[in-house]
Amino acid sequence: MSETTYEYSPGLAGVPCAKSSVCYLDGSIGKLQYRGYPIEALAESCTYEEVAHLLLIGELPKAAELAAFDALLRKARAVPATVLGTLKSLPATTHPMTALSIGVSSLAAHIHGDHQKSAAFRRDAAIQLVAKLPTIVAAWERVRSGKEPISPNSALAHAANFLYMLDGKEPDALVAHTMDVALVLHAEHQMNASTFAARVTGSTLADPSTTMASAIGALSGPLHGGANEEVLKMIATIPASSPDTIRAWAEDRLAKKAKISGFGHREYKVKDPRASILQNLSMQVFAKFGATPDYGMATELEKQMATLTGAKGVYPNVDFYSGILYSKLGIATDLFTPIFAIARISGWLAHWLEQLEDNRIFRPNQIWTGSADRNVTQLAAR
């Protein structure tokens, strides 16, 4: 039996699977750009709404374009009663990512049209999904606590409205700004696992809600979206905050080849630029509301790790500070990854839209490792 020889790359590492103009990433120098704009400039000067417009439409909006786009988002925030009913039927122990996946899948019954041929419908569907994800996440947080969901507040911007829907209180301006920047930083990151899942599902011409549910499913895995939760758990295991103790703890982990959550990234060989931005934001939040022991431990761990693993290109990634920051904002730990999805939905949708411009269904090959041409023995003789 002849078999074509292929070069095998575990995890498709380094194998291009698409041509894209959505995101540029050069991890060797810490360069991350959305459609050519540096992440540092976007985080400093643009709201999440502007960034979502950039990703979905292709350009940063002018004032009138932003006003129109923002109005569409605000109008589309409400979730159908049947979707809320589905959430209310789930056990309270359901993980928020599972609830989000179910909620988004159920939107397929409400967001439907000719997504294969109608560019106008695809754009409308994208706006609806960006607008509705925060509502679903906030609604589940309320429902699992035995409370009624809070309706969206059309007077508030995207990030502030999400925080409002969690507890019914308009957030502090710095808190709202912090969440807005966090959403910008997580909005897109090239061909990661969840984005690839979205493009593969989209390539089958599945509807937009189902396509986004597949991306959410990929993000739910602990190797992708859950690292910031693990950072908090990890820091809690460090016995004391002194530099010597933290260094000894890190050396012990490294000697055992145990993972140190929040450090290292498959793409970055320098400090993740998003981690630096979040660290600066954290300092502002802590200056206003008080620091936490976790932050002090984290900054000392970063110092120690720089001397232990910096030469190997192992530095903090975006997850290292995001969980600490969200925790300070009073957000439940298991909501960290759903917030990631709230941000990344615009990037996933940008890739979905791009995929459908010149679509070809994904159908990769394999390297055969099994037996061949085996004889079937009759059941009585086995």
Which whole number is the average pLDDT over 73-96? 98
- Can you give the pLDDT at residue 4? 64
Which whole number is the average pLDDT over 79-103? 98
d(CA 313, CA 264): 7
Q: Are strands 31-34 and 37-38 parallel, antiparallel or unpaired?
A: antiparallel
Which whole number is the average pLDDT over 269-273? 86
CATH topology of domain 227-328: Cytochrome p450-Terp; domain 2 (1.10.230)
Mean pLDDT of all residues in the chain?
94
As annotated, the active-site residues are: 265, 319
* pLDDT tens string 345-382: 999 999 999 999 999 999 999 999 999 999 999 999 99
Q: What angle do CA 291, 183, 176 make, to 5 degrees?
A: 55
Cβ neighbours around 225 below 10 Å, total: 25
Which whole number is the average pLDDT over 101-111? 97
Q: Is residue 2's pLDDT more than 60?
A: no
* pLDDT tens string 170-201: 999 999 999 999 999 999 999 999 999 999 99
Tokens describing residue 353: 């839209």
Which of 1-10, 143-152, 365-374 has maximum average pLDDT?
A: 143-152
Give SS3 for 34.
strand
Indicate the pTM of the whole model: 0.93
Non-local (6+) Cβ contacts of 27 within 8 A are: 265, 266, 267, 268, 269, 270
- Can you give the pLDDT at residue 1? 46
* pLDDT tens string 210-240: 999 999 999 998 888 877 788 888 999 999 9
Q: What dotted CATH number matches 19-220+342-357?
A: 1.10.580.10
d(CA 376, CA 382): 9
The string of DSSP letters for 95-131 reads -HHHHHHHHHHHGGGTS-S-TTT-HHHHHHHHHHHHH
d(CA 127, CA 121): 10
- Can you give the pLDDT at residue 209? 98
d(CA 261, CA 232): 9
Q: Domain residue spans in the chain? A: 19-220+342-357, 227-328
Q: Taking Cα atoms as reference points, which of 192, 162, 138, 151 lies closest to residue 317? A: 192
Which whole number is the average pLDDT over 281-290? 92
Report yes or no: 359 and 207 within 8 Å, Cβ to Cβ: no
Report yes or no: 42 and 182 within 8 Å, Cβ to Cβ: no
Q: Taking Cα atoms as reference points, which of 339, 367, 356 lies closest to residue 181? A: 339
Q: Taking Cα atoms as reference points, which of 379, 309, 284, 337 lies closest to residue 141? A: 337
Which whole number is the average pLDDT over 115-138? 97
Which whole number is the average pLDDT over 38-48? 98
